[in-house]
Amino acid sequence: MADPALTTDAKAAVRAVDRIDLPPRATAHDVIRLNNMHRGSAPQDVLRAVLVDRLAGEIALVSSFGAESAILLDLVARIDPSTPVLFLDTGKHFPETLAYRDTLVAHIGLTNFITIHPDAAELATQDDKGLRWSYDPDGCCEIRKVRPLERALAGYDATISGRKAFQSATRANLPHFEIDGDTARLKVNPLASWTKAELDAYVAERGLPPHPLVAQGYPSIGCAPCTSKVQPGEDPRAGRWRGWDKTECGLHGEVTPLPPAPDGSEDPVF
């Protein structure tokens, strides 16, 4: 029987230790099968597969509470409002984002909301002035996003992401399922194939509150110092890290198509 006195961090550590001698969480063949099974599936069907059928094991939704976050949060809450929702409070968010986060959690009815913070000791030694974003944005993202999230996800087999293929050229090949870097953790992208028009239609149908900065010219919203307004005709993510050779914060890599399975294992498993 599990020890009820264990903290959340301790339980995550135990799960991480227990995995040492276990097979990888997900393999390329797993991802090929899942994408083949869910080719053309609606976001709701993809979410039911991982939240109800537990197809991906222990899973959490990671949300930035940005421009289009309300859609995925609402879809998840309608299926299982107790799904863990992780939010990275980097210490650099727009005040509007923090207020919007609180509004959405209450409006949608999420019951398992978890805030993650950077490690205070790491900030003190590696970004004591809070200005690392201005000369080393990759390092800033590593300290304030990548490391804290990886620690928080130690006990999970999979994550749900709100990325969409239309958002940028680096996401054009985005599948419904992929492997998350070296972690062998499954990453689920239910909204991968939805268009901007479909997103807008869902927001209108459900009466979801918009992020207040969208109307001010911010179609993609991250940390305040590294987010600028986007001009008409620009890529929706053109305002992120403007002037830097950087397109992702480090939580998501560039998307590459999966190779075909050599043994026919891309066939659906029914």
pLDDT of residue 169: 60
Asked if the model's pLDDT at residue 226 lies above 50, the reply is yes
Average pLDDT, the chain: 82
Q: How far apart are the first and last CA of the chain?
A: 35
Lowest mean pLDDT among 80-89, 199-208, 242-251: 242-251
pLDDT of residue 241: 78
| Per-residue confidence band for 207, with pLDDT thresholds at 50, 70 and 90 | very high
Tell me the per-residue pLDDT of 125-137, one tens digit each, with 9 for 90 and over: 999 999 999 999 8
The larger pLDDT score, comparing residue 153 to residue 263, is at 153
Question: Which has the closest alpha carbon to 99: 207, 239, 213?
Answer: 213
pLDDT of residue 17: 45
Residues at the annotated binding site?
140-141, 223, 226
pLDDT of residue 235: 81
By the 10 Å C-beta count (0-12 exposed, 13-18 middle, 19+ buried), 178 is classed as buried
In the chain, the amino acid numbered 43 is P
Asked if the model's pLDDT at residue 58 lies above 80, the reply is yes
Tell me the per-residue pLDDT of 151-175, one tens digit each, with 9 for 90 and over: 999 989 999 998 887 655 655 678 8
Asked if the model's pLDDT at residue 259 lies above 80, the reply is no
Residues with active-site annotation: 249
Average confidence (pLDDT) over 86-103: 96
Asked if the model's pLDDT at residue 199 lies above 50, the reply is yes
Lowest mean pLDDT among 13-27, 67-81, 111-125: 13-27
Domain ranges of the chain: 24-216
Residues at the annotated binding site for [4Fe-4S] cluster?
140-141, 223, 226
Is-above-0.85 flag for pTM? no
Asked if the model's pLDDT at residue 245 lies above 70, the reply is no
Which residues, in sequence order, are bridge partners of residue 160? 61, 188
pLDDT of residue 231: 87
As a whole number of angstroms, the distance between CA 243 and CA 36 comes to: 38
Tell me the per-residue pLDDT of 6-47, one tens digit each, with 9 for 90 and over: 444 444 444 444 544 455 677 888 899 999 999 889 999 999
Cβ–Cβ under 8 Å, residues 230 and 236? yes
CATH number of the domain at 24-216, out of 3.30.70.980, 3.90.1150.10, 3.40.50.620, 2.60.40.10?
3.40.50.620
